[in-house]
Chain A
Amino acid sequence: MALNKTILIVDDSASLRQVVAITLRGAGYDVLEAGDGKDALAKLTGQRVHLIISDVNMPNMDGITFLKEVKKNPHYRFTPVVMLTTEGSEDKKRLGQEAGAKAWMVKPFQPQQMLAAVAKLVM
């Protein structure tokens, strides 16, 4: 069990957030949720976050913009970010990589696959 590790999930789909949260909580992680990039930035107020999992296509602030904002934030610039999206094109992946993402996961995901990636990346 991964005690005292907090992961922020950013996705405009509430059901998808729940699916990710169930998977992570089942493995012992603490979970924070945000509905879009703007909401997520408002939640990043200094507390320790060990990993961020973010969607790409979201209202108000998309995932790539959010990722760039996170990398500008001195508190969270080294926090690993995984993009979780339906987008599977190489162009989009390259955008994510250039913005500083650590991994690009295409939905639908398998829980063991996600947990393995999280275990590998969580700080």
Chain B
Amino acid sequence: MMLWLPLISPLLMLALVAVTGGSAGVLWVMFLLLLVSAAFTWWQGQNYKSTQLAHQQAQDALQQQLHSVRQTLAYHLSVSDVIRRASPHWVRHTTLVREQSGEAIESLTQRFDTIIQRLTETLDLAATTSADDETLNRTIVDSRADLAGMLASLRHALLERVQLVAEFSNLGQYTTVLVDMAQEVAEIANQTNLLALNAAIEAARAGEAGRGFAVVADEVRKLSSQSGATGENIRTKVEEINRAMTNALTAASRLSGQDQQLIQQAESAIDSVANRFDRVARELGESHQRLSGDSSAVRHDLEDVLLHLQFQDRINQILGALAGDLERLAEAASQQAPLQTPLDSQHWLAELQRSYTTLEQHDERHSSGNNGGITFF
């Protein structure tokens, strides 16, 4: 604003010289004016330089900003181009994930269903087998009772045989009596023979009168001889019978001992076999119960697995919302003049949230594993 001062200073000095005629005071004033004018000119120059520098710096900054804006615009255009080109792939891949996970989960579910059905059939069969186990136990108990009855019959038969042997033993005593009696018969026959012999002697001494008596005495002697022979024969036979009975009794006693031993062995064997069957049946029952328990546990685990497979439905819906949003993004990126229709991020997010179907999409703190609950109307 003071640029006119250095220009008019020489004019003022010339005007003063012309008016005053060049006196010393005027020259001093002129000198001072010239000095002031020079100083002012120097200050103006400095000021102009700093202004020029500031303008240059501002222009440089503007150029840099313009360059930065161009770079940013180019970057956003490239991002938009990438989104426009890549988003169909994202959508396709998201759809692939949904389809493949859906098919895989469906296949898994079918397999688990088959396993559960087989386990159910096994458990049903096991329940039937369990009834058979009870039948087996009852059969073992019944068999043990039948065998015990049979052993009792055998013991009864053995007891009767022992009684029979005792009876035979008593008969042995009678045979001794019979032998004695046969001996007595023999002695009587011997005595009778002596008497008959004496009678015959007396009959001979009587002469003709004793002839008839001699005949009688002779017959008596013959009878006593026969009686003696018969007694001897009886004794021999009784001794033979006694010997046979003794042998039979010995054999019977030996057989009784063997029978007793056999019955004890049979009883022991029956107990052993029955106990073994009991143990096997008990072990089978325990194994069966354990298998049934394990099978039930596995069945419940598989049912839990099936229930947890519900996550696929949630994933499908979440990915569906994502795919829809990606399609919107692709459509937005494909616009001819995107810069003229800027996107409203809040509106965009509101649209995205309207597509949410699960609670965890709205609130990430909500766990997808939570039980959803039921509301009755």
Contact residues of A between 87 and 120, Cβ < 8 Å to B: 87-89, 93, 96-97, 101-111, 113, 117, 120
Q: Which of A11-30 contact B (CB under 8 A)?
A: 11, 13-16, 18-19, 22-23, 26
Listed residue (A23, A101, A102, A110) with the most chain B CB atoms within 10 angstroms of its CB: A110
Cβ distance A30 to chain B, nearest Cβ, rounded Å:
16
Check: A65 CB closer than 8 A to any chain B CB: no
Contact of A15 among B313, B317, B373 (CB under 8 A): B313
Size of the B side of the interface (Cβ < 8 Å), in residues, is 34
Q: Which residue of A lies closest to B371 (CB)?
A: A110
Given contacts A86-B358, A97-B377, contact A15 B312 (CB under 8 A): yes
Instruction: Determine the chain A residues whose CB is within 8 A of the CB of B110 once the complex forms.
Output: 18
Complex: A111 Cα to B309 Cα, angstroms: 13
Contacts between chains A and B (CB distance < 8 A), count: 104
Asked if B342 is at the interface of the complex by the 8 Å CB criterion, the answer is: no
| Interface SS majority for chain A | mixed
For the complex, count residues of A whose C-beta is within 8 A of B. Answer: 34
CB distance from A17 to the nearest CB of B (A): 9
* Chain B: minimal CB distance from A90 (Å): 9
Contact of A13 among B316, B371, B374 (CB under 8 A): B316
Contact A13 B313 (CB under 8 A): yes
Chain B residues within CB distance 8 Å of chain A = 102, 105-106, 108-110, 113, 116, 303, 306-314, 316-317, 357-359, 362, 368-377
Q: Is B310 a contact of A103 with CB atoms below 8 Å? A: no
CB-based contact A88/B109 at 8 Å: no
A103–B376 contact, CB under 8 A? yes
Partner of B374, one of A11, A14, A104: A104
Q: A88: shortest Cβ distance to chain B, in Å?
A: 5
Known: A18-B109, A22-B116. A13 touches B375 (CB 8 A): no
A97 to B307, CA, bound (A): 26
Q: Which residue of the partner chain A has the closest CB to B318?
A: A86
Known: A85-B357, A86-B314, A109-B371. A15 touches B376 (CB 8 A): no
